[in-house]
Each structure stands twice: as structure tokens, then as C-alpha cells.
Amino acid sequence: MRQKLANMRGLLTIVLIVAAVAYVVAALYFQPWGARLGVPASPQRMLLATIFGPLVIGIPLTLLVASIVAGQPRWVAPRGRYVEGQDPKLFTPYAYTAIAFTAALFAAAGVGNFQLVDLPAGAAALGCMYFNPVIGWFTLWLGGILRAMIFGTGNPVQWAYSWGIFDGSLWIVMSLFYWWSREKTKWGKNPVYLTIAWAIFYFFWRTVYTFVIIFWYLPSNMYLPNYTSMWTAQFPTGLIASIAVLWVVEAIVRATERRAESSKSAPAA
């Protein structure tokens, strides 16, 4: 399955391009920036936001990133356990356990108002950084369903087919950025540089990608007030939580890598 998914990267790229074109055409037709679709969060706006956010953009983007991850066997294998030439599976008992753990942590972090203090971002970062982007996607999707069921933060059914997919696609891209930075660049090996890059990309991507939904939900005169709220509460607190997890993950990964190197260099008994 992993290799088949990796081989579909070209096709999935085309699918995402087609989806983006469909999004633009629909936007020009419905003109959600004006009063045509009614008041903020009207039924028409909610329906179109669900169709063109999670489904039209979120699913193709998620699958494309998953295909990129599938082409990196070192990323798929558990930390410190990859053997050169190994063909690890994308879904294993280890992956299922990781998904269950991080999703439960994400749900538990929703005990407060995450739009004011984004503690769930810490659990999302754990799934995306210590594990891999695909596990990170399920952390958001399944964890959000559990959070809605336990704390009533939204409709769990709606989260399953819409907002969970969208939030998962938001974080799977940030996870890809983290893994590419740390594993494919020299500066990514420096925790300070990695933290700075993460902070910049975190604010940039959350600001840009969130607009995919806000664009349909609100008329244009509501964009700035909505962003001001997120820039001053949810985004900064989520960034702090994710950076804290980043440093914890960095310490664990470095210790794991040292143990792996020591075991390789140790003389045979």
C-alpha cells in the first residue's frame, strides 16, 4: 500500500490542480465575499464551505502529502528503528497505537476553549512531529471527533466529514514542512533554526490555509475582525504549545538516535 500510494503522486498532483481550478470557478460564480450568500455562517455559506474546503481541497491535499510521505520509508518507520533497504508498512499496530494515543490526548486537551487557548495544538504537534504526517492527520481527525463527543465542541458527525478533514489537511502540510526541514536540510538539525522556521511557517500556513474556509463563511468586511481574533489568541497559544512539544520531541529523537548509533558501533559479543 505504501509504495502504491507513493507511485500515485503525479496523479494526485493533477487531482489537486483540478480541485483548485474548481474552487476558483465556484468562487467566481457564488461570490462569497459579498452579500449574495447571506449573513455570516448562513446555511448556504456552511454548505459551500464544507464542499469546497474539506472535500474539494482538503482531501486531495491530504492524499498528495500522504503520497510524498509514503515515498520516504525512513519517515514511516518508528523512530530509531529504520534499517536501510527496509520496506515499512504505512499502517501497522505501532501506527494504530500512536493514532489512538495522540487522538485521545488531542481530545483531552479540548477541555477548555481551544479558540482562546489552543492546547490541542500541542497534541497535534506530537502526532505530526514524533510520529509522521499521516499519523498526525488521524490525530486531528479522530481526536476532533472524540473531543466533540466528550466536550460538545461541535457536532462529531460534522467533524468526521468536514472540519476534521480540513484541520487534518492543515496540519499534515505543517508536518511535512517539519519532517522535510529536519530530515532533508542541514539547518533543520539545529533546534534553534528549526524552531524559528517552524514559527514562521506555522503563522504563514495557518493564516493562508484558514482563508480557504473563512472565504466562504464570511463576507469580506468580516475577514479582518476574524483574523484579528485568531492572531491574538488561538494562533499564538497554539504556536507556544507546538514549540514546547517540538523541543520535547527533539530531545527524545536525539536520545533515540544516539542509542541507535551506539548499538550499531558496539562490538558483537
- The stretch 217-246 carries a mean pLDDT of 96
pLDDT digits (tens, 9 = 90+) for 103-123: 999 999 988 888 888 999 999
pLDDT confidence tier of residue 269, bands split at 50, 70 and 90: very low
Q: Which domain holds residue 219?
A: 2-265
Q: Which long-range contacts (CB under 8 A, 24 or more apart) does 158-164 make?
A: 161/50, 161/54, 162/50, 162/53, 162/54, 162/55, 163/54, 164/54, 164/140
| % of the chain surpassing 70 pLDDT | 97
pLDDT at 264 (0 to 100) = 62
Domains held by the chain: number: 1
**Domain containing 52 — which CATH number?**
1.10.1760.20
Q: Is the pLDDT of residue 267 over 60?
A: no
pLDDT interval class at 239 (50, 70, 90): very high
Q: Confirm if 120 and 143 have CB atoms less than 8 A apart.
A: yes
| Residues 126-147 pLDDT 10s | 999 999 999 999 999 999 999 9
